[in-house]
Structure 1
Amino acid sequence: MEIVNCISTGYERLVSIFLKGKLVVCTVESYDKYLKEGCIDSSLIGVFKEPVNFRLKYAFINDKEFSNGFFQPIENSPSTILTGKVKFSENNEKVVISNDFLGELIIEFENSVCVKDNSLISIRGELQLEIQ
């Protein structure tokens, strides 16, 4: 995975990454240093070999649009629609799913939801990258 661009929004960074031949936009939280909004954070640009995790924050069940795996409908935005199989539910607001493009990721819902293990769901939220 390669981070090709990183712009600060304060403590959060909006990053563009190259993953499996596709440009993907997500956020990265960075509490170690505050950068003025709009500044480029060159410390995060480059190739990452460390383990990374993806998380979908502020998510909700997306019953109006059904994506074929992974889709970012707004250019230069971490807004993401994805489809995945529920691996297990930690509670009514957090589940772990498996997605063909991103692999296993945590979904944090805005409100309590009831989903069954092994069910296929479509969700929409903000994609976040977690660098270990």
Structure 2
Amino acid sequence: MFSKIVVVYREAPTDKSDWWELHEPFEEILSDGSSVLVNAGYVTDFASVPRWLWSLFPPIGKYNRAALVHDYLYDLQYRQKELGEKAARKFADDQFLYLANKVNDENKFTNYVMYLMVRLFGKYAWRKAK
């Protein structure tokens, strides 16, 4: 079964979203069989969804695992030195879809729509993390 994500609410730096701090370390297996360990203290907003879309795509819920790992991979610029920027960002985005399908297999259409949004708009967050 899945490991548990333990977070505590943290005051947001702006009024744009809620922030959550990982209270315990969290490990996830990626699609290529490697694992990533997100350390306690890591801060995420989970899914960065505009407020007007929350009724369709809530920022917190079934996708927490996928969003947490995706945020962490972006913040690390995971595998960028090895793969280059485009391929590393695509790998991180692909992990979002892989993990979303892993936890919410019955709704692959919604998972794919969220993945497309990550692909379209993630470039700005990836470059911001540099």
Compute the TM-score of the two structures, normalised by the length of structure 1: 0.29
Larger RCO, structures 1/2 (Cα 8 Å, 6+ apart):
1
* Structure with greater strand percent: 1
Compute the TM-score of the two structures, normalised by the length of structure 2: 0.29
* Structure with greater helix percent: 2
Structure of greater Rg: 1
